A and B are shown apart, each in its own frame.
Chain A
Amino acid sequence: MRLRFQVTRRLEPSASMVFFVSVLSLLLAFLVSGLLFAFLGISPLEAYRVFWRGAFGSLYALSETVKRMIPLAIIGAGLAVSFQASVWNIGAEGQMLIGAIVGTWVALFSPLPPSLLLPAMFILGFLGGALWGAFAAWCRNRLAINEIITTLMLNYVAANLVLYLILGPWKGKTVRGFAYTDPFPQEAWLATIGTTRVPLMTFLFAFLAALFCYFLLTKTTFGFELRVVGRGEKAAHLAGIPAQRVVALVLFLSGGLAGIAGVGEVSGIHHMLRHPAHISLGYGFTAIIVAWIARANPLGVLASAFLFGALMSGQDALKVAFGIPFQVMYILNGLVLLFLIASEQLLYYRVTLRVAPWGEKEDEYDRVLD
């Protein structure tokens, strides 16, 4: 007789299970972060308190959280759709920057009347990001190049395009030679909610994007086709579903939403085009995780985007309160991710401890985890 762990597979984890395990893994991540703080000579309890107050503790804290949540949610909704189709769009960062570029062009250089600036920025910004994404679809469909590679590499192309513009043709007249464009005219600024810095319009967009993508996935034929393609392209083909068209549309949509997020950042936060690393705080990459943690459910994305917005904003509060090295924030993010990813196993496999007689034949999972 001996004790052994037995691992059995769960077919479909329940919603409460997903929630409970996710929260548990977050708490564990915070517990381990506490050790890190103790190591840095900061009371973990004090650190938790600052983090909580900094992310949720006041209207201001919430507004800072929501400010970060907006681009994550808009991009994340599109990525959720794309991941449901097993199209791995890693290029939201670049698609977002293209949106920012197009929006900047409209704001600074288009001949449009002031009242049309904002609508045009968002529409053309969407198209810019969408076409940037669709280019990767074209590469995949016509040239059989994996979209992970193209979307990833196009991020760098987009970032360098921003650099070229702010250092070259679009460098502002009023910025003393620094690498920025001139500020946008006031008509191209998004109105913010009250005294916060949360732009009202993109805040609404975040919810609209989630609802639209959810509706698209669950209530339309296209959503069904898309999910079939996601489960198996061959099966989709046999069922007469044009997989290539689905791939193209999915990248068009997720790229376009990222483009809208990019316009939102330049017209809502910066009011100019500046260094790509300052326009986007890695939103395009973080949104991948946001969509993944929401298990590619666009409504779930709202929750996970809020969570990551809170992480970013709480970490700001930590930086301000303790003057800790900014790299510590990367460790904190890493811990959260590590625990969330590790918890995945707990969702799909049940681990039980049981007494097994000697000589019992080991099954597959036993061998793995004995």
Chain B
Amino acid sequence: MKRFAVGVLLVFLLCFGFVALGNTQETKIKAGFIYVGPIGDFGWSYAHDQARRIVDDTYPWLETVYVEAVPEGEVEGVIDRLINQEGVDIVVTTSFGFMDGTFSAAQRYPDKIFFHCSGFKRAPNMATYMADFHQVYYLNGVIAGALTKTGKLGYVGAFPIPELKRHINAFALGARRVNPNAEVLVRWLQTSWYDPAGAKEAAESLIAEGVDVLAFTEDSPTVVQVAAEHGLPSFGHYSPMYKFAPNFVASGQLVHWEAIYFDFFAKVYAGLYTPKNLGNVDYWWLLREGAVELGADFGMPINPVFEDQLKSTIVNDPVYGEISVYDLVFALLKAMADPEYAFSPFTGPIRDRKGHLRVPEGVRLTMDELITMEWAAEGIVGAWPGEPE
């Protein structure tokens, strides 16, 4: 019994000893990033973390910490810890599923600043942001439409939400600009944003149906690798996937979250953004702002392996006339990145696959219409949960 008592005493002494150790204070701005996935996923969370590192390295007054693989229901607890334990001034939450937790934390910490990615709830101390790929997907579609021999393009999507529907529509519209009969066959994973096994299965089944070019939305390079095994071109998603299949990644969608973070943090530092005036701050950044980039790798809009084929494919474009697909891609890229925003993929007339006129002639969809898009463009084949009648 005596030994037992001594043991208990020892345990407690040890434990309280650790608590007594020092505590440090920081004076610069500190931001805490919360990711839903692992930063090693080569997708969404990876891209956010790359951007975090860049702004952290660039701004000497900014310190950042991050927490990865946070379950959605746990976000409030992690925010509490970031604020109370790490003393962060700004909390950045990077998943739609974190919206309610972030919003509720924003009410509880009115002096802290919250920055939520991809949601729609804002507060005086909570702003939102998104870097959207629909323009880049349109350009990927143009390239894919020229590369396909079967006329069938494959798309592996994680969840049938408006963001993916918008992207797949843009991809199909782009493809049909150069290849009016092209079809986009869609497979939904509906399991997880990170599901390499499901993505492999979906890609294989698409290839079995005759698809010869693949694009996707899932947070791993799986589809790129499966396509390469079959010798088929594909488009990287979120991070530079050129390195996973240098002969087969034709192009892809790249993100520069740091463009948004640079702007936001600098404005907080300068006192322009305060916990009182963020109610209408919503970043919706595109090619023009440099938040997204077309490319298989940074600085490589089109993989040189495919250059000759695209240069020798001549189409008769309604706007640019006789033009090679290669030149068309760059012409469109220039038009979309231009400060006047000269071209939008969703410019009418556009009909959905059921024949309804979704965008009348001469009209361009607004941001609200883009982020709530449910219809499927002509040429899309396959299930489309939530498709309007």
Tell me whether A60 and B80 are in contact in the complex, defined as CB-CB below 8 angstroms, given that A49-B18, A269-B73, A323-B66 are known contacts.
yes
Question: Which among A2-10, A173-181, A200-208 touches the partner chain?
Answer: A173-181
Which of B38, B81, B97, B374 is A180 in contact with, Cβ under 8 Å? B97
Interface pair A316/B84, CB less than 8 Å apart: no
Q: Are B73 and A23 in contact (CB under 8 A)?
A: no
Q: Given contacts A177-B374, A269-B73, are A19 and B19 in contact (CB under 8 A)?
A: no
Any B CB within 8 A of the CB of A48? yes
Q: Assess the B85–A317 pair: CB atoms within 8 A.
A: yes
Instruction: Choose one: A16, A49, A197, A275; the contact of B19 (CB below 8 Å).
Output: A49
A-B contact pairs, 30 of them (CB 8 A): A16-B1, A20-B3, A20-B7, A23-B11, A49-B18, A49-B19, A53-B19, A60-B84, A176-B162, A176-B372, A177-B161, A177-B374, A183-B100, A197-B76, A275-B72, A277-B192, A281-B71, A281-B74, A316-B78, A317-B81, A319-B68, A320-B65, A320-B67, A320-B78, A321-B65, A321-B85, A323-B65, A323-B68, A326-B68, A327-B38
A278-B73, A321-B65 known, 5 other contacts, Cβ within 8 Å: A168-B385, A277-B192, A320-B81, A320-B82, A323-B68
For B85, what are the chain A residues with a Cβ–Cβ distance below 8 Å? Answer: 50, 53-54, 317, 320-321
CA distance A45 to B19 in the complex (A): 10
0/1 string, A7-37, CB within 8 A of B gives 1: 0000000001001100110010000000000
- The answer to whether A323 and B67 have CB atoms under 8 Å apart is yes
Q: Complex: how many Å from CA A274 to CA B71?
A: 11
Residues of B within 8 A of A19 (CB): 4
Residues of B within 8 A of A278 (CB): 71-73, 97
**What distance in Å separates the Cβ of A128 from its nearest Cβ neighbour in chain B?**
20
Contact partners of B76 in chain A: CB under 8 A: 197
Q: Does A52 contact B (CB under 8 A)?
A: yes
Closest approach, in angstroms, between the C-beta of B218 and any C-beta of chain A?
Answer: 14
A57 CB-CB contact with B under 8 Å: yes
Which residues of chain A come closer than 8 Å to B161, judged between CB atoms?
176-178
Which chain A residue has the least Cβ–Cβ distance from B72?
A: A278
- Whether, in the assembled complex, B120 has its beta carbon less than 8 Å from a beta carbon of chain A, the answer is yes
Residues of chain A having any CB pair with chain B under 8 Å = 16, 19-20, 23-24, 27, 45-46, 48-50, 52-54, 56-58, 60, 64, 67, 163, 167-168, 171, 176-180, 183, 197, 265, 269-271, 274-275, 277-279, 281, 316-317, 319-321, 323, 325-327
Are the CB atoms of A320 and B190 closer together than 8 Å? no
Instruction: Tell me which of A48, A60, A183, A320 has the highest count of chain B C-beta atoms within 10 A of its own C-beta.
Output: A320
* B86 interface residue per 8 A CB criterion: yes
A178 contacts B120, CB within 8 Å?
Answer: no
Answer yes or no: B77 CB below 8 A from chain A CBs: yes
List of 7 A-B pairs having minimum Cβ-Cβ separation, nearest first:
A177-B161, A49-B18, A326-B69, A16-B4, A278-B72, A320-B81, A48-B18
Chain A residue nearest to B372 in the complex (CB):
A176
List the interface of chain B (C-beta within 8 A of A): 1, 3-4, 7-8, 11, 14-15, 18-19, 21, 32, 38, 40, 65-69, 71-74, 76-78, 80-82, 84-86, 96-97, 100, 120, 159-162, 165, 190-192, 371-372, 374, 385-386
**Knowing A177-B162, A319-B67, A320-B67 touch, does A279 contact B73 (C-beta < 8 A)?**
yes
List of A residues within 8 angstroms of B66 by Cβ? 323
Q: Taking the nearest CB of chain A, how far is it from the CB of B134, in angstroms?
A: 15
Which residue of the partner chain, among A53, A64, A177, A265, contacts B386 with CB atoms under 8 Å?
A177
List, in ascending order, chain B residues with CB within 8 A of A269's CB.
73
Give which listed residue, B40, B74, B372, B374, contacts A316 with CB less than 8 A.
Answer: B74
CA distance in complex: A278, B19 (Å): 31
Chain A residue with Cβ nearest B4: A16
Q: B18 contacts A52, CB within 8 Å? A: yes
B71's closest neighbor in chain A, by CB?
A278
Nearest CB in chain B: distance from A106 CB, A:
19
In the complex, the chain B residue whose C-beta lies closest to that of A166 is B190
Nearest A-chain residue to B3, judged by Cβ? A20
| Residues from chain B with Cβ under 8 Å of A58 in the complex | 84
**Chain A nearest Cβ from B133, distance in angstroms:** 17
A180 partner residues in chain B, CB cutoff 8 A: 97
Residues of B within 8 Å of A197, CB to CB, are 76-77
B contact residues around A265 at 8 Å (CB) = 73
Query: Min CB distance, A199 to chain B, in Å?
Result: 13
Residues of chain B with a CB closer than 8 A to A270's CB: 73
CA distance A20 to B86 in the complex (A): 35
B386's nearest neighbour on chain A, judged by CB, is A177
Most chain A CB neighbours (cut-off 10 Å) among B15, B40, B84? B15
What CA separation (Å) do A209 and B322 show in the bound complex?
77
Q: Are A49 and B21 in contact (CB under 8 A)?
A: yes
Rounded to whole angstroms, the CA-CA distance of A270 and B104 in the bound complex is 12
Which chain A residue has the least Cβ–Cβ distance from B39?
A325
The CA-CA distance from A86 to B82 in the complex, in Å, is 44
* Chain B residues within 8 Å of A56, by CB: 15
Interchain CB contact (< 8 A) of B385 among A20, A167, A183, A317 = A167
Min C-beta distance of A170 to chain B, whole Å:
13
Best-buried of B19, B32, B165, B371 by chain A (most CB within 10 Å): B19
Chain A residues in 8 Å Cβ range of B159: 167, 177-179
Q: How far is the CB of A105 from chain B (nearest CB, A)?
A: 19
Nearest-Cβ distance from residue A44 to partner chain B, whole angstroms: 10
B72:A54 contact, CB within 8 angstroms:
no
A57 cross-chain contacts in B, Cβ below 8 A: 19
**What's the least CB distance linking B30 to chain A, in Å?**
12
Complex-state Cα separation, A269 to B76, whole angstroms? 10
A46 touching B21 in the complex, CB below 8 Å, given contacts A23-B11, A167-B385, A176-B372? yes
Q: How far is the CB of A10 from chain B (nearest CB, A)?
A: 16
* Contacting pair B160 A177 (CB below 8 A): yes
B129 to nearest A CB, angstroms?
A: 16
Q: Across the two chains, which residue of chain A brings its CB closest to B77?
A: A64
CB of A54 within 8 A of CB of B71, answer: no
Residue of B whose beta carbon sits closest to that of A281 = B71
State whether A274 touches B97 (Cβ < 8 A). Answer: yes
Which one, A27, A46, A67, A163, contacts B191 given CB within 8 A?
A163
Taking the closest CB of chain B, its distance from the CB of A369, in whole angstroms, is 24
A321, B66: Cα distance in complex, Å? 9
- A219 CB, nearest partner CB in chain B, Å: 28
User: CB-CB < 8 A to B71: which residues of A?
Assistant: 277-278, 281
Q: Which residues of B have CB within 8 Å of A49? A: 18-19, 21
In the assembled complex, the Cα of A49 lies from the Cα of B73 at a distance in Å of 26
For B120, what are the chain A residues with a Cβ–Cβ distance below 8 Å? Answer: 176
* Chain A residues positioned under 8 Å from B78 (CB to CB): 316, 319-320
Considering the chains assembled together, what is the distance between the CA atoms of A46 and B74 in angstroms?
A: 24
CB distance from A141 to the nearest CB of B (A): 34
